[in-house]
Amino acid sequence: METILSIHQLSKRYGRIQAVNQLSMEVIKGQVFGILGPNGSGKTTTLGMVLDLIRPDSGSFTWFGEEPSKESRKRIGAVIETPNFFPYLSARRNLEIVAKIKDFDYSDIDRVLHTTGLHDRRNDKFKTFSFGMKQRLALASALLNKPDILILDEPTNGLDPQGIAQIRRLILQVAREGITIILASHLLDEVQKICTHVAVLSKGNLLFSGAVNEVLAVSDCIELASSDNEILKAAIEEHPAFKSVTESDGILLAVFSEEVRPGTISEYLNQRKITLSHLVERKRTLEQHFLELLKDTQP
Amino acid sequence: MKLLTIELKKILPYKTFWIVIGLYFLFLALGIIMAEYIVNAMVDDVNNRLPIPLPHAVLFNFPDIWQNLTFFASIRFVLIFPAIIVIILITNEFTNKTVRQNIVNGMSRSEFILSKLQVVLMLALVISGILMIVMLILGLVHSDSQSLSMIFTRFSFVIGFFIQMLTYLCYAFFIAFILRNTGLAIALFTLYTIIIEPVIYFFLRAPFMWENKVYTYLPVNAVIRIVEYPSIPALKKLMNFQLQEEVSLLSCSIPMIYAVVMIAIVYLTFNRRDL
Ligand SMILES: Nc1ncnc2c1ncn2[C@@H]1O[C@H](COP(=O)(O)OP(=O)(O)OP(=O)(O)O)[C@@H](O)[C@H]1O
Ligand SMILES: [Mg+2]
């Protein structure tokens, strides 16, 4: 387990706003690490600090187990917010400057231009590009010479559905090559689709972090009712996948830790001689889940 | 060398750069042509009242050409053009946010400052170099054997001009890093050079104020004073005294102190501020 990025108690305040508050987390080699949080939760500020763009008020971080330096940044490919290039230079020229700063030769430029589908437009000026193409050029520059870690801040922001699908496919492909990825996003769905690990931020605070399938586990709820809810409740609590049960208006809302079909649950209850008067499966959307997670921490 | 290569990659394909450089040399050429015309008109005017007429002024003779051309190349209205180039090149990095990309890609903040200082140094060298070659050619064309023997007599003015260019471009570097906004920086810098400082200068100098020499220490004025007067033999004869013979080390050191302080401030603030 090689630690790529380790953040310790990092804080940044802008006037009255605590943008990032005592944040600690670790990114391990091979992870696709999502930083998930609503707008203004401190994702960009966090990434800005670990990339030396923003000076932290307090706290520290290390890259590849070492004190951060320009040399460690040369091993990182990053796209922060908007793509930043010289408008009057061609795509290729812009990438040459990136390569030069990172001490690479130009041999990998054509490959990343092909990967991002910009090769045909390589000699066109950056300012003539559409937004999606600019975004892809930023990705191309980040992919130059296969970095040890790829950092993407809202990489699909402002893209059309086709562009979004393309970029996601590309990210997954990069991940399969073994490159560690940090992805900041306010889209739960995106994190769920792409990431292996996630840290959830709200107002600069870390709510929780861990493997995606644990943190964002989808639990189905089932509404149940019978003539005697007390007995029903006891029976459900004995179910091997039982997680929680609450009662409101004579209806029990049961949550299970793994997917449980309504059919199997009614069979399970039948065996215990309980006849149901009400049985409805209620899928909770991921968004609901995410919003609830955020709500829990608010005073 | 790596930093300068990167800067050249940014600068050379940039049209605005070439336009402003072109304007600088255009204004310079026009200024010099007009200067000769004006000086000769003055001599003609004086000659009307003199029994023995003065010869027409020749600005392009060795060794006077060194002093004359560097003088015209460093008047406020002309000097401002290279400074505008420096301001544009630096503030562009902030408005395009390419400075962020440079840092993220693995430049240190000090390297970023250093790369811009190298641009300043390069511009000062190239402009002084071009001017020196022009002066050499013009001088050779206009010279007789007597003036050829004095070819390097006032060469110190070329060095002085280089110091002028270097320090004034450092001022531009400073304002660009502090303000980070192209329009604002150019407007303020031009306004200060052409209006604000001359006004301050006027009030400090005016006889109704207390006796002082403060005005000679104003930053831009200190730069201008390195090559303070042209050398025109006809007028010299007329007025019977010499205005400036050489570039003094003291006059060079004042703007250099300003420049060093400004670079230090840029280092301190740029390393602390968010990008
Ligand atoms: N330069 C700044 N000056 C003042 N406040 C700032 C600055 N940058 C960020 N903030 C504030 O810090 C907080 C966190 O901002 P940040 O950009 O990190 O959020 P984010 O999670 O990236 O949001 P988004 O999803 O919108 O990109 C916000 O409340 C924002 O208003
Ligand atoms: Mg953001």
B14 touches chain A (CB under 8 A): yes
Mean pLDDT of B243-256: 83
The reply to whether omega before B219 is within 30° of 0 (cis) is no
H or E stretch at B262: helix B249-272
∠ CA B164-B170-B174 to the nearest 5 degrees? Answer: 150
Sign of CA dihedral B1, B7, B10, B11: negative
Residue to test with chain B: of A101, A102, A152, most B Cβ within 10 A: A101
pLDDT of residue B12: 94
Q: Any residues with CB less than 8 A from the CB of A150 and at least 6 apart, and which?
A: A76, A77, A78, A142, A143, A171, A174, A179, A180, A181, A182
Beta strands of B45-133 (E only): which ranges? none
Least CB–CB distance from B103: residue in A53, A71, A96: A53
Residue to test with chain A: of B14, B105, B107, B274, most A Cβ within 10 A: B105
Cα gap B255→B226, rounded to integer Å: 9
In the structure, ligand 2 is a single-atom ion and the residues with CB under 5 Å from it are: A 43-44
- Which residue does chain B place closest to A141, by CA atoms? B105
Given a cut of 50, the residues of chain A with pLDDT beneath it are: 298-299
Higher pLDDT, B173 or B202: B173
Which ligand sits closest to the CA of A54? 1
At B213, list the tokens. Answer: 């020499």
pLDDT of residue A299: 43
Q: How far is the CA of A48 from the centre of ligand 2 (A)?
A: 10
For chain A, the helix, strand and coil percentages under 3-state DSSP, each to the nearest 5: 35, 30, 30
Q: Give the phi and the psi of residue A200 in degrees, each rounded to 5.
A: -105, 125
Interface of A with B (CB under 8 A): 48, 51-55, 69-71, 73-74, 76, 78, 80, 82, 84-89, 93, 96-98, 100-103, 141
Distances from the Cα of B187 to the Cα of A299, B95, B193, angstroms: 50, 16, 10
pLDDT tens digits, one per residue of B45-77: 777 777 777 667 677 777 778 888 888 888 888
Average pLDDT, chain B: 86
pLDDT of residue B225: 85
Residue to test with chain A: of B101, B114, B268, most A Cβ within 10 A: B101
Cα gap B213→A284, rounded to integer Å: 81
Burial of A46-65, coded b for 16+ CB within 10 Å and e otherwise, reads bbbbbbbbbebeebebbbbe
Contact A156, A167 (CB under 8 A): yes
Least CB–CB distance from A78: residue in B15, B104, B108: B104
Q: Alpha helices of chain A — where are they, by DSSP H?
A: 43-50, 70-74, 91-101, 109-115, 131-143, 161-176, 188-194, 212-215, 229-237, 262-271, 286-296
Contact A198, A191 (CB under 8 A): yes
Cα gap B111→B228, rounded to integer Å: 36
Least confidently predicted of A176-185, A274-283, B175-184, B265-274: A274-283
Question: Measured in whole angstroms, how far is the alpha carbon of residue B85 from the centre of its chain?
Answer: 13
Residues in the ligand 1 pocket, defined by CB under 6 Å: A 14, 17, 19, 37, 39-45, 186
pTM higher than the cut 0.90: no
Chain A residues inside the 8 Å CB shell of B94: none
Distances from the Cα of A73 to the Cα of A103, B19, B200, B255, angstroms: 12, 36, 48, 37
pLDDT of residue A248: 75
pLDDT of residue B167: 96
Q: Do B97 and A82 touch (CB under 8 A)?
A: yes
**What percentage of chain B carries pLDDT values higher than 90?**
47
Q: How far is the CA of A160 from the centre of ligand 2 (A)?
A: 19
B7 touches chain A (CB under 8 A): no
Residue nearest to atom 29 of ligand 1 (CA): A40
Q: Do B104 and A53 touch (CB under 8 A)?
A: yes
User: What number does the ligand 1 atom closest to the CA of A44 have?
Assistant: 22
Cα gap A276→A231, rounded to integer Å: 11
pLDDT of residue B47: 75
Q: Do B10 and A86 touch (CB under 8 A)?
A: yes
Cα gap A290→A198, rounded to integer Å: 12
Q: Do A51 and B103 touch (CB under 8 A)?
A: yes
Sign of CA dihedral B159, B162, B164, B167: negative
∠ CA A134-A137-A141 to the nearest 5 degrees? Answer: 140
pLDDT tens digits, one per residue of A172-184: 999 998 899 999 9
Q: How far is the CA of A40 from the centre of ligand 1 (A)?
A: 5
Q: How far is the CA of A221 from the centre of ligand 1 (A)?
A: 36
| Residue A218 DSSP class | -
Evaluate if residue B144 carries a pLDDT over 80: no
Cα gap B275→A52, rounded to integer Å: 9
Render A112-133 in DSSP notation, one character per residue. Answer: HHHHTT-GGGTTSBGGGS-HHH
Contact B31, B119 (CB under 8 A): no
pLDDT tens digits, one per residue of A93-108: 999 999 999 999 999 9
pLDDT tens digits, one per residue of B66-105: 888 888 888 888 889 999 999 999 999 999 999 999 999 9
Chain B residues inside the 8 Å CB shell of A50: none
Chain A residues inside the 8 Å CB shell of B273: 55
* Cβ–Cβ pairs < 8 A, chains A and B: 74
